[in-house]
Amino acid sequence: MSSTELPGVRSASEASPQVGAVRVAEGEQLRTVVLPGLELTVRSRPPLRTGLPPALFVHGLGGSSTNWTDLMAQLEDSVDGEAVDLPGFGWSPPPADRDYSVTALARAVIRHLDAAGRGPVHLFGNSLGGAVSTRVAAVRPDLVRTLTLISPALPELRVQRSAVPTALLAVPGMASLVGRLTRGLSAEERTRGVTALCYGDPSRVTSEGFAYAVAEMERRMALPYFWEAMSRSSRGIVDAYTLGGQHGLWRQAQRVLAPTLLVYGGRDQLVSYRMAQKAAASFRGSRLLTLPQAGHVAMMEYPDVVAQAFRELLHDTGPATRDMPDTLDIRDGEDGRG
């Protein structure tokens, strides 16, 4: 479970130009994808050369596609990268049906990939995006070439104490209560709290990155659907934790056929470091990267290290797509198409 928009750790000399109020790093492009009942903002980074395989990056709770800017820049020599703003986050408006469950978010990712015809992709997910990506890889193996999960929000028997406030947002009425109780906090104070929660070493954040995060915090909190998106997405994670049988996230992890890279931070306050071994045992043939100094967003703190680990995965698995079944039921007979 991630939290509200996070500052990057890029050098201050690499200041990002602005398109309106949207942050667009040098070399990035933005577009809007409109599907029935769904509108998604997609951030892309054209590869250094043609013919590179496609990749899709999925952010965590309260985050946005900008969380992947640094990693996409690191990998522009390896993949044709896109990062999506999930419904209700970043610059994507809420879904028409107001469904923020993990299944619904996975379906949104599937619909985007089906409409774009980009699959199979190298799929990356952080936190909530890791749970979403796990479900996508399990039910639509034809869309996923490899899977990279950074602190994925998979069920834990003993949730860390520092993660409890985020989980409490799932309680009906709690989001509005939190909003009232924290009304006096400035955007800067909120951003400092989020940074302290999500980064292993908050001092790595540059002043330019922090200033952007404060401005984005102000913008997001002014949106009429901010607390709804946060609370319903939190509830979606909690609900996904309680699902059993074939729809359980750990059961679906065991069904993933794509070669998988798992990344865990030793200072993660939201997803326990101790879950790394369970995840490594659940995703067949997976490889595990542990970063003792990293927090919840290793791709933002150590993008070069994560990029190198992915390149090794890419080199070892090769460019060819594995022979995989077409689709599996996502839930109650739905396969996520259309």
Q: Say yes or no to pLDDT of 217 above 50.
A: yes
Q: Is residue 242 very low, low, confident or very high in pLDDT (cuts 50, 70, 90)? A: confident
Which range of 22-31, 168-177, 242-251 scores highest in mean pLDDT? It is 22-31
By the 10 Å C-beta count (0-12 exposed, 13-18 middle, 19+ buried), 51 is classed as exposed
> How many angstroms separate the CA atoms of 219 and 216, rounded?
5
pLDDT score at 184:
67
Vertex 53: Cα angle to 52 and 59 (nearest 5): 120
Which range of 14-18, 120-124, 217-221, 271-275 scores highest in mean pLDDT? It is 120-124
Alpha helices in 75-225 (DSSP H): 102-116, 128-139, 164-168, 174-181, 187-198, 207-221
- The stretch 228-255 carries a mean pLDDT of 87
Average model confidence (pLDDT) for the chain?
84
Spatial neighbors of 153 by CB under 8 A, at least 6 apart, are 1, 60, 61, 127, 128, 130, 131, 237, 270, 271
> How many angstroms separate the CA atoms of 236 and 92, rounded?
18
Q: Summarize pLDDT for 83-115 with one digit per residue, the tens.
A: 999 999 999 999 999 999 999 999 999 999 999
Q: Give the predicted TM-score (pTM) of the model.
A: 0.86
> pLDDT higher for 239 or 252?
252
pLDDT score at 183:
61
pLDDT score at 157:
60
Fold of 16-317: Rossmann fold (3.40.50)
Distance from chain centroid for Cα 209: 19
Nearest by Cα to 227 from 270, 185, 171? 171
Q: Summarize pLDDT for 8-65 with one digit per residue, the tens.
A: 554 333 333 434 457 788 889 999 999 999 999 999 998 889 999 999 999 999 999 9
> pLDDT higher for 209 or 16?
209
